[in-house]
Structure 1
């Protein structure tokens, strides 16, 4: 069978599955979700599973990840979560409003959320879409199914995820922590759809944690839409710590109105294949976007970060810093696109990607891009790919520090610029600790022995 036929058959497998389960997807779901399915399905048929011929996916081959015969999780499953297992290797003793997502579905027994400020809603997207569709109808339009086949596939299959609403001028003092668990009795495919609506003047911190609870293979396709009103403030931290047989596909869309500030920080500590799509639209004057990311990968792991920042109004600022440490035969990719549209004058936009290769067999692809249609702007972009500075290493060893410890010190220093951007102090301290363990090679062992020993 030719490669072209195999690729066609792979997409046909998913289109065929949709036709088989269409009634199951629409049953009990809301009109607002169901109304998007057919259009999304047609957009997926037109695009298919992305290949390297797709410019936005040229550094990530998703064909092997979509090939297995997964169990599709289209219905809510009953389960009991053991918090002692959940937090064995994660971020314990963090004072948060805590909620769980299980295989893409908002966990019905969330008892740890605590008392949220008046008017704040943290709930199942499926439930809110039925009971309060007006909260979704106007603003949940950020993910364009014509631009990305993964978004189209997500919209085709989406039934649940989390919904967060923060009313006007409300400040949530404690972070909201959402933990995504994957656990099934066989290899599984999960779809998750999330929506966040932060009204004018509101302020919230969010912490997203991705984890696997057993060693089956998983493919997770998640889409999150976030709308920030005028003068709203968001800190959005993501911690990815899954085993090597997991494929994690994450698309986050953030729309900002005037005077709003959004900061995202993504930490990829472990996973098989991770693809993070992040798209900002700065749609009001004096909006500010800060994008930070770091990845620590080894063996044959792959992490691909794809960012887009659209400056649609004047006097806005964006800043991007992504850093990666690659060991063994791991591969990484970064593509960052800044687009300053016509009349978006007085724009300040900066982008930097730095990469550290620890072996000759590790590979990094980086592609910073600027598209500038205005003339009164300050924009810059740059990327570096290199190995540990031998002169600096010699300097440390000359002062009695052994080679292994000296290398570890330099790698920690390399990552520190991103880690210090975490404003939630207990989270920053814990990620600093996890990064140190990751660089020592301890996180993988911790993941594999989670049920049998103390880590």
Structure 2
């Protein structure tokens, strides 16, 4: 397809593409995925590709990322090798249930999915939509297409991703590790849709690792809906480690019932443009949400973390800590919004964003926000942007530590507050090592992860 458009009206390009493929999207997908498709695209047309004029995207102009001529990955393409034989994640003592996602499609031969506890389902979203659509009755109810154009575009194009179901009172004995690969022979646009249900009293942990396998330009638009039942626990750790020609757009929506606990932690070690959009709804008393993030940027990389936590019921707690280390001409952004609904009394909500600038050309925009409609709450928010403390640096050098090592020690200490929130000890140790290497400028990918192919 070749469509000449003005950059100012780039959405016309995507409108033309949708009109070209919508019949095949409908024909090749199950009813539950098709139901919101046309409305979602109309919502996208109404909003357009986000620019800085969009309040929720005021720090990230995505128009340049949508301009290249991508090949859209609307169909499952054969993987020419056994990913289980080709890939090895060498993290000592990290024992996981391993599954692969390839260009947004659930790998058809995920061997370890069958070893999960009885009743737990880890499967292709496309397959579940066809064979067990009743499990997707809440599909597209959390991710509102009228509120975000990226969510709308994802819903319009969605065909596959992963589906996770953890039944009542089931504890998944070890973390589920999802390896997201991007690899194509040309620049590619990838759409991935995920759906997670953790029922009452259940417990599950996900470790998601994002990798690019060659140097083509990629735009990945991913949406994940998560339902956490009463008294359930859900932990979601994401390691973003992709090359500088990758645009990674991630939207995660979490609905929590009473007495539940949900934790997300994003480690952005490498990537060109990264946008992480999280929205939590605490919809039951005594629900607890923890949102953590850290990013390490250099060159002209850009990472934007946008969070919304909605306290809808009384006696709930949320905690947010995001930290960034920025070098060279990199740019970071954080916008965090806490909204306490009128009847959500006895709310405890905390939010903090700390940023370390290593050069005069690095920039950081931060906007913590509180919207409080209740009158009996404890809420706080704050942000700092600064450079390495020269007095502390002098103190360390006076005790025989050379300047480079002293700076590294201080940066590691700065990041460690987020790292220590990882409850999986082997993963915590590995992230500590990767952060250390990233700060030394030694790592562009997980060195101990091996992917053997002819590419």
Question: Shift of residue 82 of structure 1?
Answer: 4.5
1:8 & 1:446 partners in 2: Cα distance?
38
Alpha carbons 2:242, 2:270 under 8 Å: kept? yes
Residue in 2 that maps onto 1:361: 361
Residue in 1 that maps onto 2:124: 124
Query: What SS does the corresponding residue of 1:112 show, helix, strand or coil?
Result: helix
Alpha carbons 1:120, 1:166 under 8 Å: kept? yes
2:87 & 2:212 partners in 1: Cα distance?
9
Residue in 2 that maps onto 1:142: 142
Question: Do the aligned partners of residues 317 and 446 (structure 1) sit closer, same or farther apart at CA in structure 2, a change above 3 Å counting?
Answer: closer
Question: Shift of residue 445 of structure 1?
Answer: 7.6
Structure 1 window deviating more from structure 2 (134-143 vs 365-374): it is: 134-143
Residue in 2 that maps onto 1:156: 156
Query: What SS does the corresponding residue of 1:300 show, helix, strand or coil?
Result: coil
1:208 & 1:311 partners in 2: Cα distance?
27
Residue in 2 that maps onto 1:272: 272
Question: Shift of residue 86 of structure 1?
Answer: 3.9
Q: How does 1:76-225 map to 2 (within 5 A)?
A: 76-79=76-79, 80-82=81-83, 86-87=87-88, 91=91, 94-138=94-138, 140-225=140-225
Alpha carbons 2:88, 2:450 under 8 Å: kept? no
Does the alignment pair 1:323 with 2:320? no
- CA RMSD for the aligned pairs? 1.7
Q: How does 1:240-251 map to 2 (within 5 A)?
A: 240-251=240-251
2:418 & 2:39 partners in 1: Cα distance?
39
Question: Shift of residue 139 of structure 1?
Answer: 5.6
Name structure 1 gaps, 5 residues minimum. Answer: none
Residue in 2 that maps onto 1:41: 41
Query: What SS does the corresponding residue of 1:238 show, helix, strand or coil?
Result: strand
Query: What SS does the corresponding residue of 1:250 show, helix, strand or coil?
Result: strand
Question: Shift of residue 114 of structure 1?
Answer: 5.0
Divergent runs of 4+, >3 A: 81-88, 90-93, 449-452
Question: Shift of residue 113 of structure 1?
Answer: 3.1
Does the alignment pair 1:439 with 2:449? no
The total of aligned residue pairs comes to 447
Query: What SS does the corresponding residue of 1:405 show, helix, strand or coil?
Result: helix
TM-score scaled to structure 2, two decimals?
0.95
Query: What SS does the corresponding residue of 1:258 show, helix, strand or coil?
Result: coil
Name structure 2 gaps, 5 residues minimum. Answer: none
2:139 & 2:154 partners in 1: Cα distance?
18
TM-score scaled to structure 1, two decimals?
0.95
Structure 1 window deviating more from structure 2 (43-52 vs 22-31): it is: 22-31
1:444 & 1:176 partners in 2: Cα distance?
24
Alpha carbons 2:231, 2:259 under 8 Å: kept? yes
1:412 & 1:47 partners in 2: Cα distance?
41
Structure 1 window deviating more from structure 2 (72-81 vs 349-358): it is: 72-81
Query: What SS does the corresponding residue of 2:168 show, helix, strand or coil?
Result: coil
Residue in 2 that maps onto 1:397: 397
Alpha carbons 2:7, 2:67 under 8 Å: kept? no
Residue in 1 that maps onto 2:62: 62
